[in-house]
Amino acid sequence: MTDDPAARPADQPGAGLFITFEGGDGVGKTTQAALLEEWLTDAGRTVVRTREPGGTEVGVLIRDIVLHHRGEVAPRAEALLYAADRAHHIETVVRPALARGEVVIQDRYLDSSVAYQGAGRVLGRKEVRDLSLWATDGLLPDLTVLLDLEPAAARARLDADDKPFDRLEAERESFHARVRREFLALAAAEPGRFLVLDAAREPDALAAAVRDRVQSLR
């Protein structure tokens, strides 16, 4: 899955299953996470569905800062805030659920930090990834579903929602282009962990592809 000795997948004896959804804003991560949760629950699995940032009470406060703070947040401070949220979230929510043998379905994880802060904010892939691996004691998902979509198409979906953009959604097209390229590069570097899907496809077709891959994990 990875050559990084500091990174360890959740799929170990006695562990549950850790599945993350990644991609740019507006690609449909929430929809696919909900469909997967419904399918697994119907199959009798106990599912914990969560997100980053904001999967804990502490995370909700951090989410408000990184996504809705009206003033400037320095890029390195932004990366550290995401890492702080991630450290607390993994320790208090994700690892306990995995230890109980449950399935964790999560909207965004460390790959988002590498893409948004590492590439989008130009802080560097290795630096941001190493920060997240330290914060989480090396935990990697068993499966990461990357929903890929052209930034212009994703922006059109966000416009259709008619809701105010958060700090990252409001960034320029060049920012989102860097983010998309980085996500694809991450997937290419770890094909065993990633499932890359064209987010322009119908939601039901995407959900079927995700289910097929999840079935192969157990």
The pLDDT value recorded for residue 147 is: 98
Alpha-carbon distance of 48 to 89, in angstroms, equals 12
Decide if 98 contacts 19 (C-beta within 8 A).
no
| 169 is a domain residue | yes
| 137 is a domain residue | yes
Outline where the chain has alpha helix (H): 29-42, 57-68, 75-89, 95-99, 110-113, 125-135, 151-161, 173-189, 203-215
Whether the model clears a pTM of 0.85, i.e. scores above it, the answer is yes
Most confident of 56-70, 158-172, 183-197: 183-197
What does the radius of gyration of the chain's CA atoms come to, in whole angstroms? 16
* Closest alpha carbon to 210 in 1, 26, 31: 31
User: Domain limits at 88?
Assistant: 8-215
What integer is the mean pLDDT of 35-41?
Answer: 97
| 173 is a domain residue | yes
Decide if 108 contacts 147 (C-beta within 8 A).
no
What's the domain count of the chain?
1
What tens digit of pLDDT does each residue of 40-79 get?
999 999 999 999 999 999 999 998 898 887 778 899 999 9
Alpha-carbon distance of 88 to 18, in angstroms, equals 16
What tens digit of pLDDT does each residue of 127-160 get?
999 999 999 999 999 999 999 999 888 788 877 7
| 2 is a domain residue | no
Domain with residue 27: its CATH number is 3.40.50.300
| 57 is a domain residue | yes
| 38 is a domain residue | yes
